[in-house]
């Protein structure tokens, strides 16, 4: 009989057989932790089915959906099928350190909260080098929306940051607070913000880089589209996003993609109360994107 898993690892994927096999292997190689790995293939995909079959590990369960439902609902499917006390999410193009789940479970077991959600730092990997994100944890009393969205120290990513592949959460919480499958963008932010205010939830950190986030490959993910309307619909309808976070959202997510005078006026109206957000918005709206990318400061760690 199979050992009952402590952690169920849920990996949604589609048409990336080599990458998902790497992710699966990093999940199976976790130290001192009984895991099951549930790979949800988002629609027919023979190449991925064959690649996963070659792993030959009974701890891997493959679910093939009859048609694509998107990454969020694919995660929900895997969570509903899971057996573990905890759920760990892993994107198919990311990977983990062998100590990742062990260190996070240590943190979770020490908490007295009803639902302990544990995240960690990560290595943000680009072709030119690595960075370690986030630069800081959440401050006491800081709202999740402001932690994720407000970039007050720098316009670069990584100041406040939680990526899906870093999350370990109780299965009971994931069932009660599922991902919203109808959202075309910002699904991860949406879940984090909703989960952070759910009764009994505490977000905790294993403050070391325990995952590798492959940014160059992430650009082709389902949620990486450029639809401005989807972003505006999400932020304007979400009452859990604070006014300050909304201002920085318009500054960093909307201004850089605005192409009309009307959208620019909306950016100004939504950022004017917060001077730094307004300055960031004007810079991103008016300066060419290629120049903005060159101006972003980065602390790059060269690959070993």
Give the tens place of pLDDT for each residue, 257-294: 888 899 999 999 999 999 999 999 999 898 766 555 55
Residue 162: pLDDT above 90?
yes
d(CA 173, CA 177): 6
- The pLDDT score that the predictor gives to residue 223 is 42
Q: Do 64 and 28 have their domain in common?
A: yes
Does residue 1 sit within a domain?
no
Q: Do 51 and 181 have their domain in common?
A: yes
Does residue 138 sit within a domain?
yes
Q: Do 126 and 160 have their domain in common?
A: yes
Phi, psi angle pair for 248, to nearest 5°: -70, -30
Tokens standing for residue 277? 């957000």
Does residue 303 sit within a domain?
no
Tokens standing for residue 130? 């690595």
Q: Do 139 and 174 have their domain in common?
A: yes
Q: Is 170 helix (H, G, I), strand (E, B) or coil?
A: strand
How would DSSP label each residue in 198-220? Answer: STTEEEEEEEEEEEEEEHHHHTT
Structurally, how many domains does the chain consist of? 2
Q: Is 35 helix (H, G, I), strand (E, B) or coil?
A: strand
Does residue 129 sit within a domain?
yes
106: containing domain: 7-218
- The pLDDT score that the predictor gives to residue 91 is 98
Q: Do 40 and 182 have their domain in common?
A: yes
pTM for this model (two decimals):
0.91
Does residue 223 sit within a domain?
no
- Residue after which a domain boundary falls, among 218, 245, 277: 218
Domain harbouring 212, CATH code: 3.90.550.10
Which comes out higher in pLDDT, residue 213 or 300? 213
- The pLDDT score that the predictor gives to residue 128 is 87
Q: Do 155 and 73 have their domain in common?
A: yes
Give the tens place of pLDDT for each residue, 207-218: 999 999 999 744
Residues 6+ apart with CB under 8 A from 72: 179, 180, 181, 183, 187
Average pLDDT, the chain: 91
């Amino acid at each position: 009989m199979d050992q009952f898993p402590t952690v169920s690892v849920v990996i949604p994927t589609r048409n990336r057989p080599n990458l998902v096999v790497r992710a699966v292997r990093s999940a199976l190689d976790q130290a001192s932790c009984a895991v099951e790995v549930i790979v949800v293939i988002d629609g027919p995909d023979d190449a991925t089915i064959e690649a996963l079959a070659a792993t030959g590990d009974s701890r891997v369960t493959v679910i093939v959906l009859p048609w694509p439902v998107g990454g969020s609902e694919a995660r929900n499917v895997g969570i509903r099928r899971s057996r573990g006390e905890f759920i760990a999410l892993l994107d198919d193009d990311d990977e983990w350190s062998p100590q990742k789940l062990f260190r996070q479970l240590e943190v979770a077991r020490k908490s007295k909260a009803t639902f302990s959600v544990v995240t960690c730092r990560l290595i943000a990997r680009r072709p030119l080098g690595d960075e370690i994100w986030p630069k800081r944890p959440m401050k006491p009393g800081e709202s999740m929306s402001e932690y994720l969205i407000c970039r007050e120290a720098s316009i670069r990513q990584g100041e406040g940051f939680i990526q899906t592949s870093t999350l370990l959460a109780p299965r009971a919480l994931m069932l009660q607070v599922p991902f919203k499958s109808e959202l075309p963008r910002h699904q991860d932010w949406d879940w984090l913000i909703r989960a952070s205010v759910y009764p009994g939830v505490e977000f905790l950190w294993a403050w070391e880089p325990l995952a590798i986030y492959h940014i160059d490959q992430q650009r082709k993910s389902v949620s990486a589209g450029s639809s401005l309307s989807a972003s505006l619909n999400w932020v304007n309808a979400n009452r859990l996003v604070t006014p300050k976070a909304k201002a920085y959202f318009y500054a960093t997510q909307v201004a850089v993609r605005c192409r009309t005078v009307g959208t620019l006026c909306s950016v100004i109206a939504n950022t004017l109360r917060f001077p730094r957000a307004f300055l960031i918005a004007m810079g991103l709206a008016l300066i060419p994107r290629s120049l903005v990318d060159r101006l972003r400061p980065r602390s790059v760690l060269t690959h070993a």
